[in-house]
Amino acid sequence: MKFFVDTAEFDAIAELHELGMVDGVTTNPSLIKKSGRDILDVTKQICDLVDGPVSAEVTATDADTMISEGRKLAGIAENIAVKVPLTWDGLKACKVLSDDGHMVNVTLCFSANQALLAAKAGATFISPFIGRIDDIGLDGMELIEDIRTVYDNYGFETQILAASIRSVNHVLDCARIGADVMTAPPAVIKSLVNHPLTDKGLATFLADIDAAGIKIL
């Protein structure tokens, strides 16, 4: 499973990139706002660092303006994936932009039917929002399973990009089901290393080293 980092904070991306943990990046206007930087400048800087897809989201809601914005964003770098919402206008924009040869990430997906439409419109990525489905008392992982089944049934090449990841269990469940990609904030990705038995074992190890007076350097 590929790891995308869900942030526009360049230093956080660079830290994970150095460890080989970044296969791509997802941004949106809210994340750009948090970074406090111009959308074109920060997106270009991220694209220069990361080889994989970098999702940059349009701000319009009508198809024609989405297409114009998408083409401008795609001009930033070859690895831009234009992010559009899963609306009828968004699907129109997806079709045109994908026909132009651009990667398109269709976001705000909450049903397998929506994912089916996005695949038929030529989406490179579909972004189902797991955490937000959990918030309304449903099971976000069932959506990932349903999309995986539908796509496998018909050989769609659209990649499932699991979004709204909030926990290490979300990551593991997505990997078990077979999501192609997951995107998560840097803190969630870094938390995958944590386990209480690792902490306990390391504490015992350090105590033994101290008692034995062992030094390597």
Q: Which residues are catalytic?
A: 83
Going by C-alpha positions, the residue among 120, 56, 62, 45 that lies closest to residue 82 is 56
Going by C-alpha positions, the residue among 108, 98, 95 that lies closest to residue 28 is 108
Q: What is the CB neighbour count within 10 angstroms for residue 135?
A: 12
- Please report, for residues 132, 141, 161, 194, the alpha-carbon distance to residue 135 in angstroms, rounded to integers and kept in the order given: 5, 12, 19, 25
Q: Helix H segments across the chain?
A: 10-18, 29-35, 39-49, 63-74, 88-99, 112-120, 130-135, 140-154, 168-177, 186-191, 196-212
Q: List the structure tokens of 23.
A: 């296969």
Burial of 214 (0-12, 13-18, 19+ CB in 10 A): exposed
Place of tokens 């902490």: 199
Q: What is the CB neighbour count within 10 angstroms for residue 19?
A: 9
Q: List the structure tokens of 119.
A: 């695949």
